[in-house]
Structure 1
Amino acid sequence: MAATNMSILTTTQSAIAADLDAFEEASWLTSSYLIAMSSIAPLSGRLCQLFSPRLCMFVSTVIVCLGCIITSISPSLGVFLLGRAVTGAGAAGIMIVATIIAVQLAGTKRRGLYIGLINSSLTVGVSLGAVIAGALEPKFGWKILFGIQAPISIAAGFCILFGIPKKYLTSNSEFAGFSLRQKLTSIDYFGAVSLTSTILLFLLGLSGRHIMPIPIFLSFLLFPLFIVNETRIAKYPIIPITILRSRGTLLTCLATVGFMMSRWCILFYTPVYALAVRAWAPAVAGSILIPNNLGFGLGGILAGAIHIRRAGSFYVPSLTSMALFPLTLLVLALTSVSTTSVVAYVITVFFNGLMTGSALNYTLVHMLHLTPGEVHPIALSLLATFRGFAGSFGSAIGGGLFMRILGKELENGFAKAGLKHREDLIRRLMGSPALVSGLEGTERKIAVSAYVTGIRVLFLAAVGLSAAMVLVQAGTGWKGAAEESKAEENEVEEEVGGGESLIAGS
């Protein structure tokens, strides 16, 4: 359910933009959801340690229900964006808590498999969101698509509430035996507000067609305050200092941002390619995500079921799967034209998803190897936060690049063809790729060519970014927290022993 909201806009954006007159603000339709999800995600890990995961899951489904209701009755763009933001806040808790539960309850031998299953369910949701929305929107309208999710999400919430054992708590005993009042007073409220505000302002400044410097500047002012609070003031910080000092965790998160930004380019713009370049109907255009997400789910499940059956380092598999990903992106960049064989394009999309699923599974379990067990819930929520960043950055930065290239190509194309006064057509084409199929003659050729150039430039930029992230992931190292602690103890013992020898010699 939460994952469908990530891709539902890919095939309904044209209709929503037309109804709300939001052609120029089309990127905000997705960014509002992803920004909210990224901003709330860091809090979910700590809340799971304070309260029951089953309660956190249920509250998250209630928030999703509320967000879907607001979106479905929205009469204007502002109300629509509010509903999307509320939905994203609820989705953040659902996705993170699901991973935490799987890691803690599945056991070492099966956790890789269950992480792969969770990723598979997410990617199935992404596929279904685009396909079902594209098929049903022309018949029932986009408001029904959001409204029907409200009763389904609240029903799922009650199933989760009664399905998870009442006695199940996270493995952290730090808050065991705390009363409700003690739990509420132990929440790092300043840390929560400052971190959420920092993320929100930073992503807000990057979203849209133009970068807004003031929100970004304010986020840079707030972030040092958050760090001081977490390291020196807060008794129970949102992000413990052990996480902030972990090279492996921070580099894994940074590598995940760039890697998943490239992944989001595929999720957002392969349906756009199908709509604008191939002239497929919205329902059919959404189906181009099916092979990619099939490969994504299969890659994670195969890695978890066959290989990830032990605790320890997965350094080499992480780098190998991440290195193969940009190669598939390069092939997509070169073949995103109208003359490419559909079968060849689908096969490439499938292998791109296969490498993504395996890489995410390997990097996650390798990060768990690098961090102490007592902070795994926080590490997982931090990693999920950076994955959310990737969606926001992908829609903001990647979308901005694509829109600038597309707009320039459309303007130059119409000018060279001597077709004047096409400003309104350019504005509508930039927000609605489905309009391309309704054009004829020279106008259609120019529009198709502009979309091909925009998609190619975007995919090539993603190739360079994902290749650089392999080097970042390589910096995480292969020694786990236990191995490093033992090495430090040995160094201390050697220093003490050496000092005693010097004293004896004297």
Structure 2
Amino acid sequence: MPTARDTGAKLPPEQTALLAGHEPLLGDASPGRWTDAGMAPDSREESSRRQTAEGGVALDGSNHEVGFARGVAIGISLFVLIFIHSTNMSGLTMIQGPLAIDLHAPTLAMWFTTSYFISASSLLPVIGRLAAIFSPRAVVLPCVALFALGSLFASQAHSFAAFVAGRIVMGGGGAGIVVMAVVFVIELTDKKTRGVMIGFVNAAFTMGVSVGAAVYGVLHPVVGWRPLFWFQTPLAIIAGIALYLSLPPSMSSPPAQQNGKPIPLSRKLASIDYLGAILLVSSPFHPSTKHKTNTSQTLTIILFLYSLAGDIHPTPLILSLFSLIAFVTTEFRLATNPIIPLSVLSSRGVLLSCLAQLGLITARWSILFYTPVFMLAVRASPPATAGAVLIFTNLGFSLGGLAIGYLHIRRAGSYYAAQLLSLLFSFITITFLAVISHPTTPSLVFIAIVTLNGVATGIALNYALVHILHLSHPSTEYVTTSLLATFRGFGGSFGTSLAGGIFYRVLRDRLVNGFLRLDGTPELGPARRKLVDRLLGSPDLVWYGDDVLAPRERHVAVDGYATAIKGVWQAAAVLALVVIVVQAAAGWTSPREEAEGRLHEDEE
């Protein structure tokens, strides 16, 4: 039968491929998930029909049945892993100042968090692909081992490079934890309860984020920073082993079969796009304080983030573009079974949805990262109290996701209008937060707006996952959801790194100009330059430093921090508006609906 490409029929606007020549065909919309792992489309369709005929799982049911006890064990083990992973996403905001001083890297504090985000985000599509080729259960123990070894290595570091290396290894394990959370929701829940389960997973993530800042702030003065990392090693190992043993045996091998026989291991290994994986995954990177970078060890995301973090570096910015072109060319022209299938790379709806999530999470993390800093440096809150503010916004995040999953997301399908409304709600809260970010704002008002932003983001993220499943081919759910998680993870990197670039540039200018006016001199003296450097890396010095600032010096510091954070949140508000436009362009038509439309046109 002729296809739409043969007959000249056009795809609906929201499903038009971003990269022409790779539009998904009707055969790509098969219901199996294990695409490109050695299983042809026809065999996937035959396998799906056979499973249904033999009394397999219905389309609306779960793919693996688990009993109550097993389900509880899976839930608890996965919750512990998610909780540990997410505490590493926020905890360092409260200890980065003392940690940077201890590691003799006061101007590189932002990389403690960014290195973890980049590593975790870069590996997400690769691990999602490996879960599809081998099995979801097969990735559990290796990823947990990476996380445990990385946390142990970081706890013993005595230099900036060693600590960041440990964080990178931890991030690789963290990527596996994120993939597990998404894949197990898809595999172990039915479509009626999927929305609520997604809400619970998001609640676990945000609980770790909120508690992490508070716990790190409380425990660091008591035990130091090293136990905060090595203590994660035994917890991760115990939870990982418990999760592995709790998963049903049916998840030990992928259901990808050809003529009823499992695919040999050699064929699975041969199906991996190694070159694409190398180009996608970033190598360990030691950022320099100079305008130089080791280009042999940096790839697209690291190059881009480094080029815009702090001072602007044109060379890595240009190199990041070439790295991106090399990856896309490899996936489209060289790889037989690309890391990201062509039906995903060429889907306008999927890629624009991912870009919208990138912008949303970037804006969200600019709030999560700088809310404790605002409370600490501008509102004079103690470190433990400043970190505890995140509890309110993340509680709102959890309640928003759970409520919308229970009340509205009760089916699979499009949630186009609802998602746009949730993004509009988020934009309004960020805009209002930027308006009230000054020292005289009542704390209750500030906390209320931050909490509402959490509610809006929780709702938007829940809608986003269900909607992108609607926009993606059923055969690529693992990779699509991993790609979505990748862009969300990069949003964390962008939110901390790019927002950090804005923050540090504005703060430095305000501090320098403020102290120049205060001293009445044309340039800063050595003592003032040292004070500026210390204030840039340690917001707690404004009110709780060893050397007490004079009232006029503190006024300059408070004004600098308030202005810098306001600038970050103004940029986040603009970005949130762009997110609405990008998500609106993603559309609402699923590949199956689009294929049926083309089939109807061909028949006519």
TM-score by length of 1: 0.94
- Equivalent residue, structure 1, for 2:265: 180
| Alignment of 1:151 onto 2:252 | no
Within the candidate set 516, 536, 550, 1:415 is matched to 516
1:69: Cα distance to partner? Answer: 0.6
| In structure 1, distance between residues paired with 2:493 and 2:201 | 21
Does structure 2 conserve the Cα–Cα contact (< 8 Å) formed by 1:41 and 1:381?
A: yes
Does structure 2 conserve the Cα–Cα contact (< 8 Å) formed by 1:248 and 1:370?
A: yes
- Equivalent residue, structure 1, for 2:471: 370
- Equivalent residue, structure 2, for 1:428: 534
| In structure 2, distance between residues paired with 1:221 and 1:471 | 27
Does structure 2 conserve the Cα–Cα contact (< 8 Å) formed by 1:60 and 1:93?
A: yes
1:109-141 per-residue CA deviation (whole Å, 9 max, x = no partner) reads: 111111111111000000111011000000110
Whichever residue aligns with residue 587 of structure 2, its letter is G
Whichever residue aligns with residue 107 of structure 2, its letter is E
- Equivalent residue, structure 2, for 1:442: 552
- Equivalent residue, structure 1, for 2:570: 460
Within the candidate set 383, 386, 395, 1:282 is matched to 383
Whichever residue aligns with residue 99 of structure 2, its letter is I
1:176-206 per-residue CA deviation (whole Å, 9 max, x = no partner) reads: 7122222222211111112224444434533
| In structure 2, distance between residues paired with 1:449 and 1:113 | 43
- Equivalent residue, structure 2, for 1:353: 454
- Equivalent residue, structure 2, for 1:226: 327
Which stretch has the larger CA shift, 250-259 or 339-348? 339-348
Within the candidate set 263, 272, 281, 1:196 is matched to 281
1:299-322 per-residue CA deviation (whole Å, 9 max, x = no partner) reads: 111111111011111001100000
Whichever residue aligns with residue 157 of structure 2, its letter is S
- Equivalent residue, structure 2, for 1:501: none
Between Structure 1 and Structure 2, which shows a larger proportion of helix residues?
A: 1
Does structure 2 conserve the Cα–Cα contact (< 8 Å) formed by 1:263 and 1:356?
A: yes
TM-score by length of 2: 0.79
Within the candidate set 146, 151, 173, 1:68 is matched to 151
| In structure 1, distance between residues paired with 2:471 and 2:516 | 56
- Equivalent residue, structure 2, for 1:395: 496
Does structure 1 conserve the Cα–Cα contact (< 8 Å) formed by 2:300 and 2:319?
A: no
- Equivalent residue, structure 1, for 2:179: 96
Give the secondary structure class of the aligned counterpart of 1:311: coil
Within the candidate set 33, 41, 55, 2:116 is matched to 33
1:40: Cα distance to partner? Answer: 1.0
Does structure 2 conserve the Cα–Cα contact (< 8 Å) formed by 1:35 and 1:204?
A: no
- Equivalent residue, structure 2, for 1:291: 392
Give the secondary structure class of the aligned counterpart of 2:250: coil
Does structure 2 conserve the Cα–Cα contact (< 8 Å) formed by 1:25 and 1:208?
A: no
Q: Describe how 1:108-187 pairs up with structure 2 within 5 A.
A: 108-168=191-251, 173=256, 177-187=262-272
Which stretch has the larger CA shift, 173-182 or 392-401? 173-182
Within the candidate set 46, 55, 58, 2:141 is matched to 58
Whichever residue aligns with residue 184 of structure 1, its letter is L
| Alignment of 1:213 onto 2:314 | yes
Which runs of structure 1 show a deviation greater than 4 angstroms over 4 or more consecutive aligned residues?
169-172
| In structure 2, distance between residues paired with 1:206 and 1:388 | 19
Does structure 1 conserve the Cα–Cα contact (< 8 Å) formed by 2:300 and 2:321?
A: no
Alignment identity in percent? 43
Matched pairs, number: 494
| In structure 2, distance between residues paired with 1:468 and 1:170 | 42
Within the candidate set 432, 436, 442, 1:341 is matched to 442
Whichever residue aligns with residue 96 of structure 1, its letter is V
1:258-305 per-residue CA deviation (whole Å, 9 max, x = no partner) reads: 111100011100000011011122111110100110011111111111
Whichever residue aligns with residue 191 of structure 1, its letter is G
Whichever residue aligns with residue 451 of structure 1, its letter is Y
| In structure 1, distance between residues paired with 2:311 and 2:276 | 30
Structure 1 unaligned runs (5+)? Answer: 495-506
| In structure 2, distance between residues paired with 1:170 and 1:425 | 58
1:311-358 per-residue CA deviation (whole Å, 9 max, x = no partner) reads: 111001100000011111122112222222222211111110000000
Whichever residue aligns with residue 350 of structure 2, its letter is T
| In structure 2, distance between residues paired with 1:486 and 1:265 | 42
Does structure 2 conserve the Cα–Cα contact (< 8 Å) formed by 1:28 and 1:207?
A: no
| In structure 1, distance between residues paired with 2:306 and 2:101 | 25
| In structure 2, distance between residues paired with 1:20 and 1:112 | 43
CA distance 1:170–1:356, shift in 2 (3 Å):
farther
Does structure 2 conserve the Cα–Cα contact (< 8 Å) formed by 1:64 and 1:150?
A: yes
Whichever residue aligns with residue 262 of structure 1, its letter is A
| In structure 2, distance between residues paired with 1:224 and 1:415 | 46
Give the secondary structure class of the aligned counterpart of 1:110: helix
| In structure 2, distance between residues paired with 1:311 and 1:170 | 26
| In structure 2, distance between residues paired with 1:334 and 1:295 | 21
RMSD: 1.6
Does structure 2 conserve the Cα–Cα contact (< 8 Å) formed by 1:205 and 1:214?
A: no
Within the candidate set 155, 160, 165, 1:82 is matched to 165
Whichever residue aligns with residue 365 of structure 1, its letter is V
CA distance 1:222–1:170, shift in 2 (3 Å):
farther
Give the secondary structure class of the aligned counterpart of 1:21: coil
Which stretch has the larger CA shift, 88-97 or 2-11? 88-97
CA distance 1:43–1:285, shift in 2 (3 Å):
same
- Equivalent residue, structure 1, for 2:561: 451
- Equivalent residue, structure 1, for 2:586: 476
Structure 2 unaligned runs (5+)? Answer: 1-83, 283-298
Whichever residue aligns with residue 154 of structure 1, its letter is I
